[in-house]
Structure 1
Amino acid sequence: MPADIQWSRQLLKRYGHAAAAHNDYPPVGPLQQGFAALDLLRALRNGSRPLHLAVSLPLMRGALSDRYLACLGREIELLSCHIGADQPVQRIHLSRGAMNTGQLHSLLTQVRQRFSVHALAFGDDSVEVDPAQADWTSMGALRELGFNHVSIGVMDAYSPAAGVVVDFRDPRKTRWLIEAARTLQFASVNIDLGYGRTWQSLTSFRRKLAAIIELQPDRILLFDYAYPPQRYRSRQRCSTCEFATAPDKQAMYQHALEQLDVAGYCYIGLGQFALKDDPLAAARENGSLQLNALGYSCQPSADLLGLGVGGISQIGTLQLHSRRDLASYQSQLESGQLAVFYGRNCTAQEQLQSTLSAALLRDGQADLQAIEASFGALARNYLSACQPALEQMAADGLLKLTPQALRILPAGRLLVGAVCKVLEQGRTEPVAMRRRFGAF
């Protein structure tokens, strides 16, 4: 077990569910329907921070992908004319999907022509690939298009027969993709590694983990199938009976922590691990680590602009989602309208909560005096509402709370999401806080 992590079955049983439910950051509050594209355009015109572009590509081929590409092009045109030249795009992130090299080249040409893409972005763009859709040729094409960080999903077999345990025995395709990435000089390779389905046993998971560790990817994202990363949620339709029991999940999780530590991986947070010489590990040590909806990053803080179906944007205090069904998204764009539909303006309290959570998830501590200097009396009142639950967590050894700072202790490293969950409730009355978090 890593020296800065303390394993406690009792604390995992008490706080683990709340921690797992906070796997995605930033948390998305209740969104309202009917947000107008004007809200997004106004936020872009008034924005001053650099941008990260996240392009969503669904799985489709042929004429369907041509139609989708045309809609993406229209969306790029509608948005780019509202972004100033002093707002550089620092990073382009491409989600999993199926487009041929020519289509991707056309898409990225449009992006780089219409947006002020920072020179550094060409060496720091990231892409998700599906092993079923990728090979050496497609990896080479992605590298030539400027992508330098790749994330590979390593999923077990889909829809196994009832009662059948699926064994991960053949890592050859994953090995080929990692070898391709290294030969093509990608800066980093991340593997998404899931656990906790009923058709996994501890033995089969051990084999799967050992096969991945042997390949030595730069980064590994370990996630519970019950709380998958955002990019898998549109594909996963599972009932609770398809997930392993809590003891089985804990056994897999503990084994992964122990083996990844032995293999030289550092725990960054939110299930993300990185080799000790990876820039993410260095950024965590020197306090320069950043975090947004795309995960941990070494790049400076930026706003997020989502393109494509289900795109997620965070521009200043505005959170927006585009339509999530493909037909509606394409219909909107083909009629010349942006497909923005769900949204919310974050209140000052929500901004405070986000600031606190981000500090804990990045640095493992929050400077309460600096936060109070920024938010004034709001911060004092907010933390006062959280005080009973935070004091209980302090008594349980998860954190240390003083008037100056909130610091996560080794017993809380794996449960920081539960602390963030408490901080989300700072707008409620102390009595309600005690009722919700005072006893588990």
Structure 2
Amino acid sequence: MSAPNTPSASTAFDRHALADFRSLAGRIDGNGPRYTSYPTADRFHAEVGDAGYRHALNACRANAPAPLSLYLHIPFCENICYYCGCNKIITKDHSRSARYVDYLSREMAMVAGQLGERRAVMQSHWGGGTPTFLDPGEMRAVMAALHQHFDLLPEGEHAIEIDPRRVTDDRMALLAELGFNRISLGVQDFDPEVQQAIHRVQSFEETRSVVLAARRLGFQSVSMDLIYGLPHQTTARFNATVDRTLELHPDRLSVYSYAHLPHVFKPQRRIDAAALPPAGEKLDILVSTIERLTAAGYIYIGMDHFALPGDDLAIAQREGRLQRNFQGYATHAGYDQIGLGVSAIGAVAGHYVQNARTTDEYYAALDAGRLPTVRGFETSADDHLRRAIIGALMCNGTLDIAAVEAEHGIDFATVFAPELADLDRLAEDNLVRRTPARIEITTLGRLLVRRVAMVFDRYLRADAARPRPAPAANDAKAVPIARYSRVV
């Protein structure tokens, strides 16, 4: 665990930038991608299936012995949280998870067989759902299968998402025994009225117990998730949640924006829309949270991520090793990511691949001897170039134009003339500074970095240029790409 850090001027966020953010956010910070991938997941298509994934795995095999990242999706939850947009199965029937573990192991064997040898893994992450829905025997079985087919490096990051309401000290000891060295726990809000409204009642004491256990057991990092924009939240009430969170001193914090989309996510229909904070109050909550976390010593990593200066995420940012993946910001760049389980997304050898979203489809594919991939995307040279640019801006806040030209054999000003014109307009709002040699994100621009990254999204530019028919009177509004979910 990182040692407590005293607040310093170097971590406190520029108040002038926050004031400008208040005035700009409503005008230019519309819905847009989070760029956990480029192209984004809404561009995936069904033409990439089993054959396409096998082709990608063969290409990855040729890149051995480079280490991999792994993501495992465990979709089960005992209770529903009304705000959640993740792919989950609500059940108390643990026989369903026993069957799932069997098929998950079969998928591992198929993927590892295609890779040809037991590959090293530098990063692994169990997400959900609630991975700790699995009973101890099932968790041991999944980990045994992983060790059979992959080499989980002890110096790597091995994380799991947990529900503090369902984890005892014994279960925490098991997680440590199995080799997890990082935990991520959902909090969302400590206010009892907010918790009742979102159907997630979780006491501060339950959360503190898990954090203290992690410290006793030597976990390297504890990450906590908060959500702003939930029913009954106000700036003052959310500040109280931030106070309680700071008492626990997590190494990392994610502060997500809630998007109310009841026409997409049925559980959200149980949330009283009239109780949601208005846009101005929601913005005030975010600004206040950034001020208070950075004043308390947290580094603003970007988007919705914060970390203590001694945490690996902050160190990776300082050293230029930060990257975006399907879990948000990550510490190791350049690794192919294998996705395992229903709806899991992988990024392998220039291909994005996503598994079937339902267990029935997932099981049927594996029974037929097929990898359960149902959609994906094969990236082009242009996609690769733009992904590198977007990643550099979102992770490092700067782009060395000469380095991009040398690596990709292009004249930047010619290829990106329309994009540079758009950047100059953003420069008028002090989001970027541009010279012929470099593009730099300003302090204000870091708060609106998605808006800067969108300039280089060729697909969004094509969408904007395409004529649109007038909507029918009863058409639903377009669904924003950004929402609370770890897999978009």
Q: Which amino acid aligns with 2:126?
A: L
For the residues of structure 2 that align with 1:308 and 1:153, how far apart are their CA atoms? 21
Name the SS of the counterpart of 1:2 in structure 2. Answer: coil
For the residues of structure 2 that align with 1:234 and 1:104, how far apart are their CA atoms? 29
**2:13 equivalent in structure 1:** 2
Name the SS of the counterpart of 1:81 in structure 2. Answer: helix
**1:221 equivalent in structure 2:** 254
Matches within 5 A, 1:74-113: 74-85=106-117, 87-95=119-127, 96-97=130-131, 98-113=133-148
Q: Which amino acid aligns with 1:102?
A: G
Q: Which amino acid aligns with 1:2?
A: F
Name the SS of the counterpart of 2:123 in structure 1. Answer: strand
Give the alignment partner of residue 366 of structure 1, picking from 392, 399, 406.
399
Q: Using structure 2 for the length normalisation, give the TM-score.
A: 0.80
Matches within 5 A, 1:187-202: 187-202=220-235
- 1:243-268 CA distances to partner (integer Å, 9 max, x unpaired)? 43210111100110111012111101
For the residues of structure 2 that align with 1:10 and 1:25, how far apart are their CA atoms? 27
Q: Which amino acid aligns with 1:82?
A: Q
Q: Could you tell me whether the CA contact under 8 Å between 1:386 and 1:425 is conserved in 2?
A: no
How far the C-alpha of 1:193 sits from its partner, in A, is 0.6
For the residues of structure 2 that align with 1:355 and 1:227, how far apart are their CA atoms? 31
For the residues of structure 2 that align with 1:320 and 1:165, how far apart are their CA atoms? 32
How far the C-alpha of 1:235 sits from its partner, in A, is 8.9
Give the alignment partner of residue 53 of structure 1, picking from 64, 67, 70.
70
- 1:69-92 CA distances to partner (integer Å, 9 max, x unpaired)? 111011111111111438422122
Q: Could you tell me whether the CA contact under 8 Å between 2:107 and 2:371 is conserved in 1?
A: yes
**1:268 equivalent in structure 2:** 301
> CA separation of 1:158/1:133 partners in 2, compared to 1, >3 Å: closer, same or farther?
farther
For the residues of structure 1 that align with 2:15 and 2:408, how far apart are their CA atoms? 31
**2:278 equivalent in structure 1:** 245
How far the C-alpha of 1:311 sits from its partner, in A, is 0.8
Q: Does 1:73 align with 2:105?
A: yes
Structure 2 unaligned blocks of 5 or more:
1-11, 77-90, 467-488
Q: Which amino acid aligns with 1:187?
A: Q
Q: Could you tell me whether the CA contact under 8 Å between 1:166 and 1:199 is conserved in 2?
A: no
Give the alignment partner of residue 343 of structure 1, picking from 376, 396, 405.
376
For the residues of structure 1 that align with 2:405 and 2:341, how far apart are their CA atoms? 38
Once the two structures are overlaid, the 10-residue window that deviates more, 252-261 or 378-387, is 378-387
Q: Could you tell me whether the CA contact under 8 Å between 2:251 and 2:307 is conserved in 1?
A: yes
> CA separation of 1:212/1:428 partners in 2, compared to 1, >3 Å: closer, same or farther?
closer
**1:438 equivalent in structure 2:** none
> CA separation of 1:355/1:244 partners in 2, compared to 1, >3 Å: closer, same or farther?
same
> CA separation of 1:174/1:24 partners in 2, compared to 1, >3 Å: closer, same or farther?
farther
Q: Could you tell me whether the CA contact under 8 Å between 2:189 and 2:238 is conserved in 1?
A: no
Q: Could you tell me whether the CA contact under 8 Å between 1:319 and 1:343 is conserved in 2?
A: yes
Q: Could you tell me whether the CA contact under 8 Å between 1:192 and 1:220 is conserved in 2?
A: yes
**1:37 equivalent in structure 2:** 50
Q: Using structure 1 for the length normalisation, give the TM-score.
A: 0.88
For the residues of structure 1 that align with 2:118 and 2:394, how far apart are their CA atoms? 30
Q: Does 1:290 align with 2:323?
A: yes
Structure 1 unaligned blocks of 5 or more:
434-440
How far the C-alpha of 1:168 sits from its partner, in A, is 8.7
Once the two structures are overlaid, the 10-residue window that deviates more, 187-196 or 202-211, is 202-211
- 1:320-367 CA distances to partner (integer Å, 9 max, x unpaired)? 110112221122223332210011111222211110111011111011
Name the SS of the counterpart of 1:33 in structure 2. Answer: coil
> CA separation of 1:178/1:17 partners in 2, compared to 1, >3 Å: closer, same or farther?
same
> CA separation of 1:16/1:236 partners in 2, compared to 1, >3 Å: closer, same or farther?
farther
Matches within 5 A, 1:260-339: 260-339=293-372
How far the C-alpha of 1:24 sits from its partner, in A, is 4.6
**2:216 equivalent in structure 1:** 183
Q: Could you tell me whether the CA contact under 8 Å between 1:16 and 1:418 is conserved in 2?
A: yes
> CA separation of 1:249/1:115 partners in 2, compared to 1, >3 Å: closer, same or farther?
same
> CA separation of 1:186/1:383 partners in 2, compared to 1, >3 Å: closer, same or farther?
same
Q: How many residues align?
A: 425
CA RMSD of aligned residues (A): 3.1
How far the C-alpha of 1:236 sits from its partner, in A, is 6.2
Once the two structures are overlaid, the 10-residue window that deviates more, 198-207 or 256-265, is 198-207
Name the SS of the counterpart of 1:25 in structure 2. Answer: coil
> CA separation of 1:306/1:251 partners in 2, compared to 1, >3 Å: closer, same or farther?
same
For the residues of structure 1 that align with 2:200 and 2:373, how far apart are their CA atoms? 42
Q: Which amino acid aligns with 1:6?
A: A
Structure with higher RCO (Cα < 8 A, 6+ apart): 2
